[in-house]
Structure 1
């Protein structure tokens, strides 16, 4: 996903715990306190363009479905302004945390395509190209 956002003209910063706090994953094994849980839920990327930054959480699901419970089991997800990008066998879709909270979800038939998000004003041809990569990824999984 990093390459997709770079090709769309965004500056991309790896943000998840693996990148922000190297080595922390081993230390947090088995730790269930509030700080450890927040660190684990850090979004994967921060993308920036035209004076606007966005938290991006990237998920891969062969099923093409994503619901609020998939990211907020305990109803305490700390990144309320995050966007969730779902890569499936056929599509790259996007939904905001707030939309999930409002009862919306990503399904195989919904039209929440990444290329339709106003936050990105993306180039649909590039997204279609990346969808083809996603299809190849899932063929090998």
Structure 2
């Protein structure tokens, strides 16, 4: 009998299923178990075991943001491929347990998507922040983010904004009032009206998010 992660539907072992049900009340691939202690939810209220009590909403919000971005770029004529560690190398989480070298770090920090259009490729890292703010510390607190050509798409309750890793490194940032709109990025030939339609989807899904 096979078991699947309730978030990404990757096949998991019975031991993974039993462990995650015991500790997180859901069947989870180890990548998503790790997110409970490493993502932004780790800054929120935690239980006596040290894990966030609000990890489920955090994972769901991230998955919705990724889906909105994925479908948006498909509608804009891009080829979109999931590129994150759990999608590109299923099972690699087990192999990397306890490994802290540069290669392992690069794999763990793989962007969410790689997109293609007009013989150009881009790495995309998708984030959701209800605050609409994002800085270099949110992406690269240790100064070891390896994908220096990545673009970060920030989905919030009101906008989809974009900034490059290099811009973040140069101490630029996304704020609720900045004009780093996705439709203004020179890297893409984008249709602003299409982007507005997907912003409406974001508003619909996130309007009641705390």
TM above 0.5: yes
Aligned match for 2:114, one of 34, 46, 63:
46
Corresponding residue of 2:169: 101
Distance 2:117 2:185 in 1: 14
The TM-score normalised by the length of structure 2 is: 0.63
Q: Distance in 1 between matches of 2:177 and 2:96?
A: 38
Q: Looking at secondary structure, tell me which structure has more helix per residue.
A: 2
Q: Which moved more, 1:130-139 or 1:4-13?
A: 130-139
Aligned partners of 2:75, 2:206: CA distance in 1, in Å? Answer: 22
Q: Does 1:128 align with 2:185?
A: no
2:156 pairs, out of 52, 70, 88, with 88
Higher strand share: 1
Cα deviation code 1:100-128 (max 9, x no counterpart): 01110000000000000011121011111
* Aligned mates of 2:124, 2:185 — CA distance in 1: 13
Residue 57 (1) aligns with residue 138 (2): no
Would you say how many aligned residue pairs link Structure 1 and Structure 2?
Answer: 140
Partner SS for 1:136:
helix
Question: Post-superposition, which runs of at least 4 consecutive aligned residues in structure 1 deviate over 6 A?
Answer: none
Q: Which runs of 5+ in 2 are unaligned?
A: 1-68
2:94 is aligned with 1:33: no
Looking at CA atoms only, which structure, 1 or 2, has the larger radius of gyration?
A: 2
TM-score (norm 1): 0.93
* C-alpha RMSD over aligned residues: 1.4
